[in-house]
Amino acid sequence: MASEVDLEIGGMTCSSCALRIEKKLNRMPGVTATVNYATEKAHVLLPDGVSVDDAIRTVEATGYAARTPLLESPPDPTSADPEVEALRQRLLICIVLTIPVVLMAMVPPLQFTYWQWASLTLAAPVVVWGAWPFHRAAWVNLRHGAATMDTLISLGVLAAFGWSLWALFLGGAGEPGMTMTFTLLPHDQGQQPEIYLEVAAAVTVFILTGRYLEARAKARSGEALRALASLGAKDVAVVRDSVEQRVPIGDLRTDDAFVVRPGEKVATDGVVVEGSSAVDNSMVTGEPVPVEVGPGDVVVGGTVNAGGRLLVRATAVGADTQLARIARMVEAAQTGKAPVQRLADRVSAVFVPVVLALSLVTLVGWLIAGAGPQAAFTAAVAVLIIACPCALGLATPTALMVGTGRGAQLGILIKGPQILESTRQVDTVVLDKTGTITTGRMALVEVVPSDGYDAATLLRLSGALEDASEHPVGAAVAVAAREAGALPAVEGFLSTRGLGVHGVVDGHAVVAGRPGWLSSEWAVDETPSLAAERARHEAAGRTVVGVAVDGRSAGLLVVSDTVKPGSADAVAALRQLGLRPVLLTGDNARAAAAVAAEVGIDDVRADVLPEDKVAVVTSLQATGSVVAMVGDGVNDAAALAQADLGMAMGTGTDVAIEAADITLVRGDLMSVSDAIRLSRRTLRTIKGNLFWAFAYNVAAIPLAMAGLLSPLVAGAAMAFSSVFVVTNSLRLRSFRAT
């Protein structure tokens, strides 16, 4: 049986490394692997007969380190990353040593007697120790017959340093009184060779700066995932045999009852048994306002109890919790590769050999053209340095990590990078009514008493009767009645399935049910005014319950599946994004039209059976529409899978969530537009990064070959390209929900 495993990869320095490891793993029989440079992880699908150790040995044979993720406590989001700190120290030391080297080379008044030897003393540690990660990577690649971006960096730095050593020891540049002037263009300074120690040292500093910013960007872009991992409680107050005892979170089991006091985290997913409070869901769902919960309400592990004491029954623990599922989905999205990134990886793989050839052509071409060896050498080194496509390897994964991480903080879970392209193309959004636009729960919206009765009395009597019923309509009436005060007891309660209930409340014979049933079975007819009210409400798609007390019509109870607050604003936001909303429901046309009118939807597909929802999506696609489907129920799963973009409400069923491409944890329809805006912005950032990375190389290489760039300027420009990509990606952290 095939198995999946995630491996932590060490030693990668560019996207070419990731591609080489990926190719090696995929050459193993039956193995399918994806290696992500930004996350430094490999997702490997292993067939029967191939072990994890086999995959690790393959990676190590390629020249890199690999291991399975260590089982340890979640990392502290506030702690410093060791890799980032090591790079920072290396960079700072190299900067201190390089500054005087560059100043002496560029400012002739600073060139004292034997200044060139002082430059050598300062530059040598930078070239050898500071650039050691690049030299080591280049050597490893050479042993395996490969060339990467590190090869270009190492060759460029060593070439500049080697030329300088030759000039100092054999070329006469080491004589006292030697001076040189800084120029942006390659040139020959008479018969006296120049040294390029400032180039070797400065390029190393530039590259280290880029790598440091890359490492810091990767660390910062993974903050959301680390924050999610740290949300869980460390221990919990469990109630067993009526005794409260605090135990480690690992000892908590499903159906255990546990206590959550004010200020404490909810230990795991569960249902409130006792108590009422406000729960802060912001870290999990992105909702800024605490949500009121009481008995029967669902709470999510990792949220914070902001009010009273709660007794909660655990419904899921460990890997089955919503928080764990969110973390897995975010990590899967960050580990995956978009098609455009695979293209960039392939380009990077062939780019380095091409650049090496171009550098050699530049050297030979300048010599043939009659230029001196120094000018030819300078132009060739500039080509090596300027062409390093470091930015290509970070263009997509860094933006993807930041975008998906920010989405997780806002309760928007994007399953994979390929989803981003779908959000750009979508032009139609199909919205399921129940549970998506509406709450999915019936609620009492109006009490209409007849003459001789007041609304409070009517609600009290009917609410007491319906409190004994399990029907959703009756439950809505009972909830509203209990909110108004205590309910009296019911005697002789009987229920007629699908029609109504009757019993004795406070000595009164009370009947509640369909008006037609009251007329035919109990001979209770509505007054003309009540009949008019019933017709009005039914025309609006609401459910009307007739109530009779002591054989006389007492009034009407109007119940409806209420529209979620903000649904109308959400539909308006979708229209602003250029999307056409379509309402899809199994309800009758009258009820569907009423809801559609309330939220501002013109296209309504009503009376649709669950199995026909797929056909509706297919028919829209057949007309040329690119369809997004938003739903929450089991009967929406097939339509979610069929749609070009499936979006499931996090408050819905697991089946719908599994079938969807994006999960909206908040269950708020406004998050649909937020998800599309975030996805589109992430995609724009990726394309902007790639354009810059490609355009930079396409434009700069000819300039370097023509001798219009010095190696020093080339190094600075190359480092800037990486800095631009990572900083542009980090701008996604500023995305705000509507």
Say how far apart CA 661 and CA 428 lie, in whole Å. 16
Do 320 and 252 touch, CB atoms closer than 8 A? no
**β partners of residue 557:** 447, 545
- Helix ranges (H only) for 426-468 are 455-466
Q: Going by C-beta distance under 8 Å and a sequence separation of 6 or more, which residues neighbour residue 57?
A: none
Structure tokens at 635: 């009967």
Instruction: Please list, in sequence order, all residues whose beta carbon lies within 8 angstroms of the beta carbon of residue 614, skipping any fewer than 6 positions away.
Output: 638, 639, 642
584, amino acid identity: L
Residue 80: exposure state from Cβ atoms within 10 A (0-12, 13-18, ≥19) = exposed
Q: How many CA atoms lie within 13 A of 32 on its CB side?
A: 6
3-class SS of residue 59: helix
Secondary structure class of 304 (helix, strand, coil): strand
**Annotated catalytic residue 587:** no
How many other C-beta atoms are found inside a 10 Å radius of the C-beta of residue 492?
Answer: 9
Phi first, then psi, for residue 552 (nearest 5°) are -125, 140
Instruction: Give the Å distances, CA to CA, from 374 to 80, 397, 398, 510, 580.
Output: 45, 40, 39, 105, 65
- SS3 state of residue 668: coil
Rounded to 10°, the helix 197-221/132-143 angle is: 90
Tokens of 254: 């499903």
Rounded distance, CA 220 to CA 85, Å? 13
Which residue in the list 256, 432, 587, 674 is annotated as catalytic?
Answer: 432
- The C-alpha atoms of residue 471 and residue 217 are separated, in whole angstroms, by 54
Residue type, 405: G
Exposed/middle/buried for residue 600 (C-beta within 10 Å: 0-12, 13-18, 19+): middle
- CA–CA distance, 627 with 643 (Å, rounded to integer): 6
Residues whose CB falls within 8 Å of the CB of residue 434, separated by 6 or more in sequence, listed in order: 440, 561, 585, 586, 587, 633
Q: Distances from the Cα of 734 to the Cαs of 155, 360, 552, 554, in angstroms? A: 39, 45, 63, 57
List all residues 6 or more positions away from 18 whose beta carbon is below 8 Å from its beta carbon: 9, 12, 35, 36, 37, 345, 393
Question: Annotated catalytic sites, by residue?
Answer: 432
